[in-house]
Chains A and B, each alone.
Chain A
């Protein structure tokens, strides 16, 4: 309802100009204008009001009858009569009052006369001696009165003559006569006036005329009020036939309406309803209101607020209805609009609050994830310290029991590290922090490398094989780091659950899968399907669905038996999906499982080695690659248990990074640092790979438990010649010869004091780090930002750079990238391009060093932005988390300065 609307909206509506209820241009024929009376010509208040049209029509025969028979009609007449009577009463009262005044005046006059006579008597008694006249003559008395009047008016009749003389009396008689005349005159006037009054009284006594005028006035007033109002009024008899209508629709004529029912006049929606409503009122005998919307051909869609009251005759019988309709179309429309707006508003508000809630939840989740990542990082740093120390401890002389305890400690530590790394990876993918790199790489090499790595730590009698179809491109572009991570994860998973038989990787090119989005497809793109298969225990079908879920393993039994975090596969799946691919699994219990992932790669257009950015470039460049190295399609590796000592061949420690540091760092070997009693025979090639305690595979820890310094070895299968393999492995895992030579030179020159550069902007950190270095017996140079670092590296040949990540001017990541680019290209073009002011006096040794890789260790704070992954991705070799401690620094120096 309108009244429910808010106040301001009502106001808004009030100021709006009302459109006329009926259209203006519809018929104005004369017969539509039914005049009940002539325009009011008389001097009433409405005479200046222009009563333009009177759209009234009435059944003239019936109307007076109606007025006479109905209550309302008779009351109206009664009213008029009463009013007239009142006015007549008033006039009579006025006349009476006037009459009263006149009577009083007459009485006064008589009283005066009496007084005069009395006075005269008195005078007669005393000075007068003519009592005869005094008593009998009325006239005489009048004279006396006159005389007395004069006395009263202090116009005493002055009589000059002597008292009681003839002259005196004569005079007195004369003056009295005058007074009498005046009195007579007054009397005459009063009578005249009385007559006049009587005459006017007669003229006022026409009631009909008065009534007519009053009626006219009432009529005029009604017209004045109603002429522009959007109101239709009418009277209908008890059959609902119109007897009277005011302000009807202009195009309808009298004969169209009078004597007809609404249904007969109009057609369309609402007509029936209004008819029913009227009938209802008639039946119930109670006036009521209703809002009805009409949909008629005649005047379209209009809403009326209709008031209907029953009409009774004097015998209290219903004889029809009066009805009044007010057009409220605009109001209704506005009201509906308002309601709709309010509804919309409510919906929007609800949606808004829902959205806010969602945003809030999302923010909370993100914060929680970031928190998790930060926490993981915080835990990882000290834990790697613990594991690293434990490993160093394991190289010292220990008895059997101590060694066992230590082994448990290391493997537990490794497990926790693995878990934390997994969590970090997961939360990074989920929070969208994980960025993919696009680098060129050789799929064959990746497969080979992954298998080699796995074989190196293999403790089971398994065959590891790699099979790459010929059509697989030699060089493709993708995020090799992540792909290696996936492969390593799947392979180690496969090995874990396989006790005999083989584990392998199969690569083949497939056509574009159906789930691929079209836009990413272009000519240089290729889809490679990678199967990682094993002949292991297999996965029961019911366990397959939750296989890729976080923290889930096929069964609690397996979890106990095989350990692991249950995160590995979840990460693989997420990574694959992040790269736009798909990871699936098929498996048969006791026969084996095959994990298949398909990924799109861009085919690298050029096979030019010089701009080859992939991780193996230094490895490949440092030795002459075998002619078929890039196209070799089949590899096989086998763990040959217990064969190390018998063949005296190359034996290597397998404790290197499986998929992180190893790819980015040339692995430094600490010759002879393994104080292994069983190895005291001086096998020069028995080495231990240090990796800053950054070990991901739990298997790698177990090697310590395999008896006294028992090392796993690998052996190339028949497909690769053993000489090839050994030379290759040598080149990968030992310091390449050019560097060795150079290093010796440097050592000689610098009297074996290694040159270290610290790049750090925080004074306090510099002070602390410098003191630590001093404590450890080293000195170092300081650069305050990336640009200074680049200049320092250009001018001096350093053995190690400790690089802060977050610095002003140029951060550590960029500086490292530029240094790496120099090492690859032999020039500082990239740095110059980046705006670094490089002094052009390039020394010869710079060119010499350009082939060498400078170890750069990041110093990171515990934030996502300074993640270890990013450090590796930017070409750093390792990282120390801040704050730097003596222990961490010592480990780092041991790793890189041997």
Chain B
């Protein structure tokens, strides 16, 4: 594929992430923090997010599957996930977490299970999309292109 075309599709793809509400403007903060000294800050943060979230979701599933659900344990996990997703701008994961926490407060096990599924769904969606995004970027870099913060913007 031609470089210009790739850059165009990267832009479109990024735009679609915002349009669909998968990401919010907070994500735009990340490229701004990239400089020569740490040029792949975005992917570092995002992969840390993936690692962290995989672990949290795993812990959450375990906690919720207990016979007696300890909401004192569940809530901090959700809080954690909410914090990190909001930091990288994974808006839909964050929103799902907000709902999740309200049900934690009500100690509604059934609703929490539903929320967990919702959060997982949103998480895998954003993960999938971001991985595709990074792949596109890598392709562009491999073809000698540059990724500017503007490419990630609107």
- Interface residues of A, Cβ cutoff 8 Å to B: 761-765, 767-768, 771-772, 774-775, 806, 808, 861, 882-886
- B48–A767 contact, CB under 8 A? yes
Chain-A contact segment, one of B10-18, B30-38, B115-123, B130-138: B30-38
Query: What are the residues of chain B within 8 A of A885 when measuring CB–CB?
Result: 26, 29
Contact status of A764 and B48, CB under 8 A, knowing A775-B32, A808-B76: yes
Contact status of A762 and B83, CB under 8 A, knowing A767-B44, A768-B45: yes
Query: What are the residues of chain A within 8 A of B89 when measuring CB–CB?
Result: 883
Instruction: Tell me, in angstroms, the Cα distance from A774 to B32 when the chains sit together.
Output: 11
Instruction: Tell me, in angstroms, the Cα distance from A428 to B89 when the chains sit together.
Output: 29
Query: What are the residues of chain A within 8 A of B26 when measuring CB–CB?
Result: 883, 885
Say how far A768's CB is from chain B's closest CB, in angstroms: 5
Query: What are the residues of chain B within 8 A of A808 when measuring CB–CB?
Result: 76
Say how far B28's CB is from chain A's closest CB, in angstroms: 9
Query: What are the residues of chain A within 8 A of B44 when measuring CB–CB?
Result: 767
Interface centre among A761, A763, A772 (most CB of B within 10 A): A763
B46 nearest in chain A by CB position: A764
B88 nearest in chain A by CB position: A764
Query: What are the residues of chain B within 8 A of A764 when measuring CB–CB?
Result: 45, 48-49, 52, 83-84, 87-88
Say how far A772's CB is from chain B's closest CB, in angstroms: 6
- A771–B38 contact, CB under 8 A? yes
Say how far B29's CB is from chain A's closest CB, in angstroms: 6
Query: What are the residues of chain A within 8 A of B32 when measuring CB–CB?
Result: 775, 886
Say how far B44's CB is from chain A's closest CB, in angstroms: 7
A-B CB contacts (within 8 Å), total count? 58
A769 nearest in chain B by CB position: B87
Query: What are the residues of chain A within 8 A of B35 when measuring CB–CB?
Result: 775
- B79–A768 contact, CB under 8 A? no
- A882–B41 contact, CB under 8 A? no
Say how far B119's CB is from chain A's closest CB, in angstroms: 16
Query: What are the residues of chain A within 8 A of B30 when measuring CB–CB?
Result: 768
24 A-B pairs (CB sep. < 8 Å): A761-B80, A762-B80, A764-B49, A764-B84, A765-B83, A765-B84, A768-B30, A768-B45, A768-B88, A771-B33, A771-B41, A771-B45, A775-B32, A806-B79, A808-B76, A861-B83, A882-B83, A882-B86, A883-B29, A883-B89, A885-B26, A886-B29, A886-B32, A886-B33
Interface centre among A761, A762, A768 (most CB of B within 10 A): A768
- A768–B80 contact, CB under 8 A? no
Instruction: Tell me, in angstroms, the Cα distance from A882 to B49 when the chains sit together.
Output: 17
Say how far A378's CB is from chain B's closest CB, in angstroms: 10
Instruction: Tell me, in angstroms, the Cα distance from A772 to B34 when the chains sit together.
Output: 9
B42 nearest in chain A by CB position: A771
- B87–A762 contact, CB under 8 A? yes
Instruction: Tell me, in angstroms, the Cα distance from A102 to B35 when the chains sit together.
Output: 143
Instruction: Tell me, in angstroms, the Cα distance from A24 to B89 when the chains sit together.
Output: 91
In the complex, B92 has a CB within 8 A of chain A: no
Instruction: Tell me, in angstroms, the Cα distance from A763 to B48 when the chains sit together.
Output: 8
Say how far A832's CB is from chain B's closest CB, in angstroms: 26
The 7 closest A-B pairs by CB, nearest first: A771-B33, A764-B84, A762-B83, A883-B86, A883-B26, A765-B87, A768-B87
Interface centre among A762, A764, A861 (most CB of B within 10 A): A764
Q: Mark B60-101, 1 if CB is under 8 A from A, else 0.
A: 000000000000000010011011101111000000000000
Query: What are the residues of chain B within 8 A of A762 when measuring CB–CB?
Result: 80, 83-84, 87
Query: What are the residues of chain B within 8 A of A768 when measuring CB–CB?
Result: 29-30, 33, 45, 87-88
14 extra interface residue pairs, beta carbon distance < 8 Å, beyond A764-B87, A884-B87: A762-B87, A763-B48, A764-B45, A764-B52, A764-B88, A765-B87, A768-B30, A768-B87, A768-B88, A774-B33, A775-B33, A806-B79, A861-B82, A882-B83
Instruction: Tell me, in angstroms, the Cα distance from A738 to B38 when the chains sit together.
Output: 41
- B84–A763 contact, CB under 8 A? yes
Contact status of A767 and B83, CB under 8 A, knowing A772-B33, A774-B33, A885-B26: no
Say how far B27's CB is from chain A's closest CB, in angstroms: 10
Query: What are the residues of chain A within 8 A of B52 when measuring CB–CB?
Result: 763-764
Query: What are the residues of chain A within 8 A of B48 when measuring CB–CB?
Result: 763-764, 767
Say how far B31's CB is from chain A's closest CB, in angstroms: 11
Instruction: Tell me, in angstroms, the Cα distance from A808 to B83 when the chains sit together.
Output: 13
Instruction: Tell me, in angstroms, the Cα distance from A885 to B48 when the chains sit together.
Output: 19
Query: What are the residues of chain B within 8 A of A761 when measuring CB–CB?
Result: 80
Give the size range of B's interface with the partner: 20 to 34
Query: What are the residues of chain A within 8 A of B45 when measuring CB–CB?
Result: 764, 767-768, 771
Interface centre among B26, B44, B87 (most CB of A within 10 A): B87
Query: What are the residues of chain A within 8 A of B29 when measuring CB–CB?
Result: 768, 772, 883, 885-886
B94 nearest in chain A by CB position: A883
Instruction: Tell me, in angstroms, the Cα distance from A886 to B84 when the chains sit together.
Output: 16
Instruction: Tell me, in angstroms, the Cα distance from A767 to B51 when the chains sit together.
Output: 14
A806 nearest in chain B by CB position: B79
Instruction: Tell me, in angstroms, the Cα distance from A772 to B30 when the chains sit together.
Output: 9
B41 nearest in chain A by CB position: A771
Instruction: Tell me, in angstroms, the Cα distance from A453 to B82 when the chains sit together.
Output: 40
Say how far B135's CB is from chain A's closest CB, in angstroms: 21
Say how far A780's CB is from chain B's closest CB, in angstroms: 14
Say how far B43's CB is from chain A's closest CB, in angstroms: 12
Instruction: Tell me, in angstroms, the Cα distance from A184 to B90 when the chains sit together.
Output: 135
Say how far B60's CB is from chain A's closest CB, in angstroms: 15
Query: What are the residues of chain A within 8 A of B86 when measuring CB–CB?
Result: 861, 882-883
A363 nearest in chain B by CB position: B106
Interface centre among B32, B35, B86, B88 (most CB of A within 10 A): B86
Query: What are the residues of chain A within 8 A of B88 when measuring CB–CB?
Result: 764, 768
B83 nearest in chain A by CB position: A762
Query: What are the residues of chain A within 8 A of B76 when measuring CB–CB?
Result: 808
Query: What are the residues of chain B within 8 A of A763 when measuring CB–CB?
Result: 48, 52, 84
Instruction: Tell me, in angstroms, the Cα distance from A580 to B58 when the chains sit together.
Output: 50
Query: What are the residues of chain A within 8 A of B79 when measuring CB–CB?
Result: 806, 861
Instruction: Tell me, in angstroms, the Cα distance from A774 to B34 when the chains sit together.
Output: 10
- A883–B33 contact, CB under 8 A? no
Instruction: Tell me, in angstroms, the Cα distance from A808 to B76 when the chains sit together.
Output: 8
Query: What are the residues of chain A within 8 A of B82 when measuring CB–CB?
Result: 861
A768 nearest in chain B by CB position: B87
Instruction: Tell me, in angstroms, the Cα distance from A313 to B86 when the chains sit together.
Output: 103
Instruction: Tell me, in angstroms, the Cα distance from A883 to B35 when the chains sit together.
Output: 21
Instruction: Tell me, in angstroms, the Cα distance from A768 to B89 when the chains sit together.
Output: 11
Instruction: Tell me, in angstroms, the Cα distance from A774 to B36 when the chains sit together.
Output: 12
Instruction: Tell me, in angstroms, the Cα distance from A806 to B79 when the chains sit together.
Output: 8
Instruction: Tell me, in angstroms, the Cα distance from A579 to B44 when the chains sit together.
Output: 52
Instruction: Tell me, in angstroms, the Cα distance from A133 to B80 when the chains sit together.
Output: 148
A374 nearest in chain B by CB position: B98
Instruction: Tell me, in angstroms, the Cα distance from A884 to B86 when the chains sit together.
Output: 9
Query: What are the residues of chain A within 8 A of B49 when measuring CB–CB?
Result: 764
Interface centre among A761, A762, A772, A884 (most CB of B within 10 A): A762
Instruction: Tell me, in angstroms, the Cα distance from A768 to B88 when the chains sit together.
Output: 8
Instruction: Tell me, in angstroms, the Cα distance from A771 to B38 when the chains sit together.
Output: 9
Instruction: Tell me, in angstroms, the Cα distance from A886 to B80 when the chains sit together.
Output: 21
Say how far A109's CB is from chain B's closest CB, in angstroms: 105
Query: What are the residues of chain B within 8 A of A861 when measuring CB–CB?
Result: 79, 82-83, 86
Say how far B78's CB is from chain A's closest CB, in angstroms: 11
Interface centre among B48, B83, B86 (most CB of A within 10 A): B83
Query: What are the residues of chain B within 8 A of A765 when measuring CB–CB?
Result: 83-84, 87
Say how far A766's CB is from chain B's closest CB, in angstroms: 9
Instruction: Tell me, in angstroms, the Cα distance from A861 to B82 when the chains sit together.
Output: 9
Contact partner of B87 (CB less than 8 A), chosen from A775, A806, A883, A886, is: A883
Say how far A46's CB is from chain B's closest CB, in angstroms: 70
B33 nearest in chain A by CB position: A771
A771 nearest in chain B by CB position: B33
Say how far A724's CB is from chain B's closest CB, in angstroms: 49
Instruction: Tell me, in angstroms, the Cα distance from A767 to B52 when the chains sit together.
Output: 13
B76 nearest in chain A by CB position: A808
Instruction: Tell me, in angstroms, the Cα distance from A851 to B32 when the chains sit together.
Output: 39
Instruction: Tell me, in angstroms, the Cα distance from A861 to B97 when the chains sit together.
Output: 12
Say how far B2's CB is from chain A's closest CB, in angstroms: 33
Say how far B108's CB is from chain A's closest CB, in angstroms: 13
A770 nearest in chain B by CB position: B33
Instruction: Tell me, in angstroms, the Cα distance from A501 to B26 when the chains sit together.
Output: 51
